[in-house]
Amino acid sequence: MKAQLQMYEVVHVKPLIAKFSLGDENVTLMVYLIPNVVATDNDKVVSVVSSPLITVVSDKPKMGELCNQRKIMTHKAVVPNHEIVSEGGTEIMVNNKKAVIKVKITNINVYPDLRDSFGSPCVNVSWIQLINA
């Protein structure tokens, strides 16, 4: 049994969408899963290496200190209760067979006093990937 790297086609990318509140501020988090490498064994997808593209949008953007790793380590995180609005998923075709990869959020840390350049809060997301092949 030896896995082989395969060419693949991205058919459809739909983001996971989560929503949460920080006081009177409503925040939408979108995670797009972008595949980088696909491996198969006996024409079955056994591994996909992916990168998340994370977008955060606030309904009440505010200015604040800009996000960066050093500042995150010295600021207190808030763990919000979040609601998954859409599970999303990235559909790929490998050897004329469909596979879907999805994001499962395991934790969200929000730094309300740190902001991105558009005024949305700084967010750190922990996640795992699920494959349906």
- The dihedral over CA atoms of 113, 123, 68, 58, expressed in degrees to the nearest 10, equals -60
pTM: 0.90
Residue type at 81?
N
* pLDDT value for 90: 98
Q: Tell me the CA distances in angstroms from 68 to 20, 30, 81, 118, 133, one per residue in order.
A: 22, 19, 23, 14, 37
- Which parts of the chain fold into alpha helices (H)? 69-74
Q: Which residue in this structure is represented by tokens 């999805």?
A: 102
pLDDT tens-digit series, residues 22-44: 999 999 999 999 999 999 888 88
pLDDT tens-digit series, residues 71-105: 888 999 999 999 999 999 999 999 899 999 999 99
Sort 55 into a burial class: Cβ within 10 Å, 0-12 / 13-18 / 19+: middle
- Which parts of 64-129 fold into alpha helices (H)? 69-74
